[in-house]
Structure 1
């Protein structure tokens, strides 16, 4: 029997799947479902290829109630820029949850991953940041620095934002771009401690292997979302930050203790018990503790989960079908 498959390019996906409140709500719902214990989500298959300066991650999750489930392949080949190619690419395959047949292939080059990652940051801010945010601080100048600021501003509208980067020129350039895009004052900030002091929400978006955020900079009411660490050699937060936080939340504890900031805190002994952490899905569902007061210091450790990929791929297919985007092939 013939079966129709949607084949959709990055260009078409960028047109029909924007980073908006619908995408943020989609990811929030996915995390809430993860808290039910009924989602089937295996550990990340991560393949490090140091000899060629590359890595490949594969993520998936089966979510009861959704029509499909995604298999996401994310290669990172970090010598590519010298060849005139992007370092990150990849694709998602959406399979029917009823038959296992392929419903869609998204040749997104990581775009859907970018959207769902930024949306998770917004979900964390929605549930853990103080109610009033005047300044958002971002460490990093890449794609996620831009998208995390856009997404966070949708759930915590701020008057100002600050951006720090190792390359001051890139920080200035991104600040100018974000000022024009968001209509708020966005400035580059050369001093990380000063950025933290002025901000109520701080988002770290770098691939750093050494802490770029110091525990001495913490202040009452601060929320930190750390999303750069997704490999066992990465670390953006000084490990004692997790120990000092009043509220510590992970997207998936079992994953964060292997790949995230939680790993560094446990390995160094700064944090002795991973059970201090709650999972974001439980906070959303009300079965885990989030921010209890405006003075709390809250930290969210995001490593990226397969349930996000299944959720964003399902949302994307619905939008593709409604707009008749993509190419239909019959297999």
Structure 2
């Protein structure tokens, strides 16, 4: 029997869903579901294509109670800008959790991944950053740097934003793009200065050597690291994970292989077993920040549960709306 499949483009998706507190709530619930148990989430399928200076990740998850589940394919080819092409693209396929039939194809070019990643940063800040954040800092100058700044401001409305990147011109462009935010914005002279002056720091780089040193940690600091999502990447000095009062993972099994914890284990610095997961903090099954002077780190490698959550959220937003092309398959 034939059934309808909705095909939605990036432009149409941008008109249907954006970065707001509702999106943050949806991603927060996905983390909570991971803590509750019953989620089926296989390991990330990840290919490092060194010859093409590219990578491809495939993520998916089934969440009990959700009407559908998504499979997301996310290529990143980082020489593309030299060809006048975006470095990131990809798509999500949403399947019915009852029948397994394809319900929608979201040709988002990475937009939904960007949204759910930024929302995850907001969730981490909501549960782990100090209640009062006067200064936030973002290390990195790309699309995610911009979105992470906006997402953090939703849950911790800081008064000042610092930005640092290896390319000062790109850092200034990033600051200009965020000039509509209701806070002062400046380009930091160095990452050390940025960390020193901030209570909330977000790293958004593809770095393969630490951009934050353990010596820079200070009381009352929270760091969300979201750039290390493949073996070989690292943004934080492994010693910092041990020195922090609390290190939290989006998924323990992933950070051991793809995230910041991999470096700490390889260096023989980590002997504490599996780290606390963000979902457990959200559900109150594990302690989060205990006081304003705690130093906390959250390691976000990206989960298939987030992709299923954002895809089903989009489908709900599209219900009853004439958006996208419908084909009968």
TM bracket (short chain):
over 0.9
Aligned residue in 2 for 1:312 = 310
Task: Please state how far the C-alpha of 1:155 moved relative to its aligned partner.
Answer: 0.2
Q: After alignment, is 170-179 or 226-235 more displaced?
A: 170-179
> Counterparts in 2 of 1:85-96, with a 5 A limit?
85-96=85-96
Structure 2 residue matching 1:182: 3-state secondary structure? coil
The 8 Å contact of residues 229 and 303 in structure 1, kept in 2 or not, is answered as yes
> Counterparts in 2 of 1:1-331, with a 5 A limit?
1-179=1-179, 181-275=180-274, 277-331=275-329
Task: Please state how far the C-alpha of 1:188 moved relative to its aligned partner.
Answer: 0.5
Task: Please state how far the C-alpha of 1:95 moved relative to its aligned partner.
Answer: 0.1
- Distance in 1 (CA, whole Å) between partners of 2:62 and 2:277 is 18
- Distance in 2 (CA, whole Å) between partners of 1:209 and 1:192 is 16
Structure 2 residue matching 1:323: 3-state secondary structure? coil
- Distance in 2 (CA, whole Å) between partners of 1:239 and 1:32 is 27
Task: Please state how far the C-alpha of 1:65 moved relative to its aligned partner.
Answer: 0.2
Q: What stretches of structure 1 move > 6 A for 4+ residues in a row?
A: none
Higher helix content, 1 or 2: 1
Structure 1, gaps ≥5 residues long: none
- Distance in 2 (CA, whole Å) between partners of 1:258 and 1:16 is 35
Structure 2 residue matching 1:119: 3-state secondary structure? helix
Structure 2 residue matching 1:274: 3-state secondary structure? coil
Two-structure CA RMSD over aligned residues (Å)? 0.9
Structure 2 residue matching 1:299: 3-state secondary structure? strand
- Distance in 1 (CA, whole Å) between partners of 2:78 and 2:178 is 26
CA distance 1:176–1:77, shift in 2 (3 Å)? closer
1:257-276 alpha-carbon deviations (Å, 9 max, x no partner): 0000011111112222233x
Task: Please state how far the C-alpha of 1:301 moved relative to its aligned partner.
Answer: 0.3
- Distance in 2 (CA, whole Å) between partners of 1:172 and 1:53 is 26
- Distance in 2 (CA, whole Å) between partners of 1:321 and 1:59 is 25
CA distance 1:47–1:6, shift in 2 (3 Å)? same
- Distance in 1 (CA, whole Å) between partners of 2:313 and 2:57 is 22
- Distance in 1 (CA, whole Å) between partners of 2:132 and 2:290 is 14
- Distance in 2 (CA, whole Å) between partners of 1:198 and 1:176 is 21
- Distance in 2 (CA, whole Å) between partners of 1:309 and 1:140 is 23
Task: Please state how far the C-alpha of 1:37 moved relative to its aligned partner.
Answer: 1.6
Structure 1 residue matching 2:285: 3-state secondary structure? coil
- Distance in 1 (CA, whole Å) between partners of 2:240 and 2:322 is 48
Structure 2 residue matching 1:58: 3-state secondary structure? strand
Total equivalences in the alignment: 329
- Distance in 2 (CA, whole Å) between partners of 1:214 and 1:20 is 32
Structure 2, gaps ≥5 residues long: none
Task: Please state how far the C-alpha of 1:322 moved relative to its aligned partner.
Answer: 3.9
Structure 2 residue matching 1:137: 3-state secondary structure? strand
1:268-324 alpha-carbon deviations (Å, 9 max, x no partner): 12222233x200000000001110111100000000000000000000111122432
